[in-house]
Amino acid sequence: MNFFEHQERARRRTGLLATYFIAAVAAIVVSVSVVIYIALLWVSGGDYSLLNWLYSPVMHWSTAITLLIVITGSLHKTWQIRDGGVALADMLNAREILPSCNSLADRRLRNVVEEMAIASGIPAPRTFVMPHEKSINALAAGFRPTEAVIVITQGALDSLNREELQGVIAHEFSHIFNADMRINMRLIAVLAGILAIGKVGEFLIHANTRMRLYNRRRDKNEVLGIFFLILLGIAMMVIGYIGLFFGRLIKAAISRQRELLADASSVQFTRNASGIANALIKIRNHAGSHLMSVHGEDMSHMCFGETVPFHLQSLLATHPPLDNRLRALGNEWLARARTRQRAGTPLQTPSDTLPDGMGFAGSTPVPPGGAAERVTAGTTGQPVSPTVGTVLDAHLGYARSIIGSIPEDLRNNLQHAEPARLVVLALAMGTSQSEPAALLPLLDLNTVESQQVLHLVAQIRTLGTRIRLPLIDMALPALQQLSNSQREQLLEKLEQLVLHDQRLTLFEFVLTRILKDHLGDNAGRAPAIRFRQYPQLANQIQLILSLMVHASGSSGGDADLLFRRASGTLLPPGRILLPLEKCRIEDLDQALADLRDLTPLLKAPLLDALADIARADSRIQVQQAELLRGIATLMDCPMPPLF
């Protein structure tokens, strides 16, 4: 199953989640009604028929209030996590690993995350650590693959070596690519509604303290009323446990098999089973994975390992047993875990950490020399859609070579908000036909900043064009720390820079649109599926294919033939290659906004067609690779580098 099939399956699972939610709410409504009916029977001395109860206003009002409490609980939690993964990290009191960090463990984690991000073709996720959690656990959160956040416990950071950390991070990247994050975020809101009844019960109990109950000024009726409220609160807390049971059941149905898939994907990404296997062994034998956070239950379906202890694990566990997970990686790993447990092998600290320059296990570096302007394709006819949302050895090696070729001072700039802002401004200035010095008045920079930007323009130009997209990916986590007003100002300055020479190159389009997508008002919001057939988007597909043909350098009959081959099943008969003057890059904005809302399974053939155009001459020009990557990113498809 590839990325697009996972996305489509996740959409169907959303319907399953809705079914579970309705069933759980129905059970809660019935339970509340039964409790109130029993209470009325007790008050009336048993003289209250069920038929009268079913048609009574009390029953109708109790049902309406119960539904209101459930819906309000879900909406409140939805509002709390509206900012995606960052909001979830804040709920967990996690600290962000800032670029200024001096800790070797923090730097190692940032390096691992950056390597995986560049290799898979997505911006580097912002990374957080739960400082008070000593167990080994982690999670990925967010509504979009390109807006993900990685959260890891301090125990994992302290206990895992680099190889094991790579295995855990690769596991979390699998959740990013397999559309697990989005449904997990929705599940948090759904479960908050289901558990809201129990929360109201707690409130009723705490609101009627013993002092109020035994206040002698109260008459008998008031005391009975308070007793009734306390009993109702206890009953609602019991009903809350019913909601908890259903919540656990839903999470187990949604999450359990996804964890085995993520374990397998971790091995596929790193080409090394020992990393994730040894991390699981450390959880099994020593450190555990339970969280102290009060939100441990809320996040249990999202984490690398179980977050809270409970009974009925075979029925309600959100994760398969650790022994089963180890056995799925290979029978020898379970045997090793048992052997180490009998031997009493202590939990090792990550003293075997590899240097930051080392990449993922099994990866082969791609030499930077000669790759600055074009990349040779392995095979021209092989579709690229199966590689979307995956990582191969060559991609990891390429990512390591990219990171290794960036000078240390430039890497430091990418890790701080203000210097990263200057880097992206320098990227825009470096591709303009105007002289960089002539563009400085547009930026309102002081003398020191102006000199820094000019230095960055010269430095980036010497590194070659292949470095441009990775610089954007690595700068985004720092840029996302800017305030909303600073983000708006940056986007405005970029627009002024790229339009100053009255032309918009493909890279300038990719630069400005990717940054707008991640820093603009709609950043982090999940797309909606609006289109389910190609004819609905015929004009947009015709434009995007035509633009890619012209970017390939083909002309005349060759260009027409290339367009016909690529558009075969995507466009209705009669659609022809648009002339270059009608392929305005500015028109891509609306086209890509529409294509982003195309159903996932239809995105794959479109990306394959675009890649076939780019590889038609067995070579991929950098401007083609940048345009294709930009299109894929704006369509929410994490596409690794093309070879």
Could you read off the pLDDT of 55-84 as tens digits, one per residue?
888 888 888 988 888 889 889 888 888 888
- Please tell me the predicted confidence (pLDDT) of residue 154: 94
- Please tell me the predicted confidence (pLDDT) of residue 592: 87
- Please tell me the predicted confidence (pLDDT) of residue 267: 85
| Closest C-alpha to 105, from 169, 154, 164, 166 | 154
Mean pLDDT in the chain? 81
| Residues 403 and 506 grouped into a single domain | yes
| Residues 414 and 507 grouped into a single domain | yes
C-alpha 643/C-alpha 302 separation (Å) is 34
- Please tell me the predicted confidence (pLDDT) of residue 627: 83
Residue 21 included in any domain? no
Give 633's contacts (C-beta < 8 A, 6+ positions apart): 121, 122, 146, 514, 517, 639
Confidence of residue 14 (pLDDT cuts 50, 70, 90): low
- Please tell me the predicted confidence (pLDDT) of residue 21: 78
Q: Percent of the chain beyond pLDDT 90? A: 21
Contact call for residues 48 and 90 (beta carbons, < 8 A): no
pLDDT over threshold 60, residue 392? yes
Beta bridge partners of 531: 598
Q: Where are the alpha helices (DSSP H) in 97-219?
A: 104-120, 154-159, 162-177, 180-207, 210-213
Confidence of residue 637 (pLDDT cuts 50, 70, 90): confident
- Please tell me the predicted confidence (pLDDT) of residue 365: 36
Confidence of residue 224 (pLDDT cuts 50, 70, 90): low
| Residues 531 and 514 grouped into a single domain | no
DSSP symbol at 345: P
Q: Which helix (H) or strand (E) holds 619?
A: strand 619-621
C-alpha 493/C-alpha 428 separation (Å) is 10
- Please tell me the predicted confidence (pLDDT) of residue 139: 93
Does the global pTM surpass 0.85? no
C-alpha 303/C-alpha 93 separation (Å) is 16
End-to-end CA distance of the chain: 22
Digit-coded pLDDT (tens) for 246-259: 777 777 777 777 88
| Residues 556 and 580 grouped into a single domain | yes
DSSP symbol at 149: E
| Residues 444 and 470 grouped into a single domain | yes
pLDDT over threshold 80, residue 618? no
Residue 541 included in any domain? yes
* Listed ranges 98-112, 303-317, 409-423; the one with the highest mean pLDDT: 409-423
Distances (CA, A) of 457 to 314, 491, 626: 59, 18, 19
- ∠ CA 636-140-165, nearest 5°, is 120
State the maximum Cα–Cα separation within the chain, in Å, rounded to a whole number.
98
Residue 560 included in any domain? yes
| Residues 503 and 531 grouped into a single domain | no
Beta bridge partners of 96: 128
- Please tell me the predicted confidence (pLDDT) of residue 357: 39
Distances (CA, A) of 408 to 82, 403, 405, 412, 418: 36, 10, 9, 6, 17
C-alpha 608/C-alpha 620 separation (Å) is 14
> What is the number of structural domains in the chain?
2
Residue 639 included in any domain? no
Q: Amino acid letter at 603? A: K
Of 503, 519, 535, the domain-final residue: 519
| Residues 449 and 532 grouped into a single domain | no
| Residues 550 and 623 grouped into a single domain | yes
Residue 413 belongs to domain spanning: 393-519
- Please tell me the predicted confidence (pLDDT) of residue 172: 92
pLDDT over threshold 60, residue 209? no
pLDDT over threshold 60, residue 371? no
- Please tell me the predicted confidence (pLDDT) of residue 312: 60
| Closest C-alpha to 547, from 520, 509, 519 | 509
Catalytic positions, written as ranges: 172
Mean pLDDT of 72-100: 86
- Please tell me the predicted confidence (pLDDT) of residue 261: 81
| Residues 408 and 437 grouped into a single domain | yes
Q: What is the DSSP string of 448-460?
A: HHHHHHHHHHHHH
Confidence of residue 13 (pLDDT cuts 50, 70, 90): low
Confidence of residue 44 (pLDDT cuts 50, 70, 90): confident
C-alpha 640/C-alpha 620 separation (Å) is 14
- Please tell me the predicted confidence (pLDDT) of residue 617: 75
Q: Locate tokens 């004009």: which residue?
A: 539
Confidence of residue 207 (pLDDT cuts 50, 70, 90): low
DSSP symbol at 285: I
Residue 588 included in any domain? yes
- Please tell me the predicted confidence (pLDDT) of residue 381: 55
Contact call for residues 390 and 639 (beta carbons, < 8 A): no
- Please tell me the predicted confidence (pLDDT) of residue 156: 94
| Residues 554 and 514 grouped into a single domain | no
